[in-house]
A and B are shown apart, each in its own frame.
Chain A
Amino acid sequence: MQTTNQQPLHLTVLTPTRRLLEGVGCGAVYFPSSQGVLGILPEHTDLVCALGTGIVYYNSGNVTSFLTISGGVAQVNGSSVTLLADIAEDAASIDVGRAQRALERAREMLTGKSDPQTPAEVHEAVSAEARALARIEAATLHSTGR
């Protein structure tokens, strides 16, 4: 149905509790894998990979849109890109103030104002910091329109 000069990729973003995007046509998708940012262009080979924390970019037409995601798995299958994220948020719906406060809380944890922490707590704080940073950046990108 779609020709190559139309939107060749279909992006689906799902979380356990809701569906964010379903089969949105786009020309390219960039998402953070656990190993670093991956760019998916049309004709990409089939791929399954773990997701990290960060920002998803996808452009449909000449509009670039942003999402933040954290954790999960991604699957590229032919022309469909499916991101099964633990957490996903549309850049437009991000509350910057809340993200800022989360960032401060995470940094406070890391600078060790409180008692000695367990490795799990440190890990939690590090990933909370990464999530907050990604949210703030996505919101900034969204508001400036890039």
Chain B
Amino acid sequence: MPANLKDLRTRIKSVKNTQQITKAMKLVSAAKFGRAQNNVLQARPYARALEKLVLKLVSGGREAEAHKLLQSSDSDRVLLLVISSERGLCGGYNSNTIKAAIRAVDELVTAGKKPVVMCIGKKAFQVLSRRPLAGGVKGQKLVTLPQLSQDPAGLLAENEKGVLHLGVQFDKPNFEFAQTVSTAIESAFAAGAVGEVHIVYNQFQSAMTQIPVCEQLLPLKSSVTSATAGGESVLEPSWSDLANSVLPRYLTTRFYQVTLEAIASEHGARMTAMDNATRNAKDMERRLQINYQRARQAAITRELIEIISGAEAL
């Protein structure tokens, strides 16, 4: 390769720098990933137990289907929550989520619904707010959130196409945040402003694999209602009181679990992406290094030939 030595040297140095950065980012997300994974695992037993309890409550109760969170309303608006990340450099994580969200929107439109998109995390918002979407109308205030007390950045914004954006840094998930959002969604649903609530997020499988999925959040799944009853339990206080305390809790837990999984997926995706980047940089550095050595050797040889031929000419 005829590139000159100085160019090659700068090139190698810059590749080395990039490698150092990607390596550091990998280490950071590896640490965050460990914590996020632990969070998911710690929260799972509670979610499972609560789900079992809800199953029991709903299948055993004679007044089943009576609760407002179980009934579908006749509004054709569908709130679509999309959870993406705040930052990039995490491989296909965000683009997969966005693709899944767009597919979900298309499906809803074909089914004759009016989807309203609400993004959590700005990456999906940046892309989705540029697309023409049916359903969203500016200023309709479908969902209202109280100001999040501990997080001044927590704001619900809306662009001119009616795409909502919930601007929170939820790197460290907390239950209060999940509670605030799920309460807001619940009240929008109960008021009949939206007929269904769906959520698009990356399901956490492992550090290598995340599966973008679209799940129905509200009305609470019909699969829940059709489960088999496991004998009558004594309920205290009444069914409706219990349902009033358990079902919103179940919704919050579902949402919390989803945010935890999304965060774990994000860090997992970033870790894998940065690992790949580090490896690619290493390969590139080696190739450049060989080129550099060749060029250097060629220069020395050329110089020697010049000297020798000069001496012979004398």
Measured CB to CB, the residues of A under 8 A from B are: 12, 14-19, 22, 33-35, 45-50, 72-73, 75-77, 82, 84, 86
Contacts and interface: CB of A to CB of B under 8 A. Distances in A.
Nearest to B38: A18
B256 interface: yes
Interface stretch (B39-47, B119-127, B158-166): B39-47
Interface in B47-70: 47, 49-50, 52-53, 56-57
B235 A49 contact: yes
A19 B45 contact: yes
B253 interface: yes
B241 interface: yes
Contacts of B42: 17-19
B175 A50 contact: no
Interface of B: 39, 42-43, 45-47, 49-50, 52-53, 56-57, 175, 230-237, 241-242, 245-246, 249, 252-253, 256
15 contacts: A16-B43, A16-B47, A16-B253, A17-B39, A17-B43, A19-B42, A19-B46, A33-B236, A50-B237, A73-B53, A76-B233, A77-B233, A82-B53, A84-B249, A86-B249
Contact of A49 (B39, B45, B231, B236): B236
A84 B51 CA distance: 11
A48 B242 CA distance: 8
Contact of A46 (B231, B237, B245, B246): B231
Given A14-B46, A47-B235, A86-B249, 19 more contacts: A12-B49, A14-B49, A16-B175, A16-B256, A17-B175, A19-B45, A33-B236, A45-B233, A46-B232, A46-B233, A48-B53, A49-B235, A73-B249, A75-B53, A75-B56, A77-B233, A82-B49, A84-B46, A84-B49
A45 B234 contact: yes
A37 to B, nearest CB: 13
Contacts of B52: 75
A48 to B, nearest CB: 5
Contacts of A22: 45
A45 B237 CA distance: 15
A16 B178 CA distance: 11
Contact of B236 (A19, A50, A72, A82): A50
A46 B234 contact: yes
9 smallest beta-carbon distances between A and B, as pairs? A49-B236, A46-B233, A14-B46, A18-B42, A47-B234, A48-B233, A19-B45, A16-B175, A50-B245
Contacts of A14: 45-46, 49
B60 to A, nearest CB: 9
B163 to A, nearest CB: 30
A78 to B, nearest CB: 10
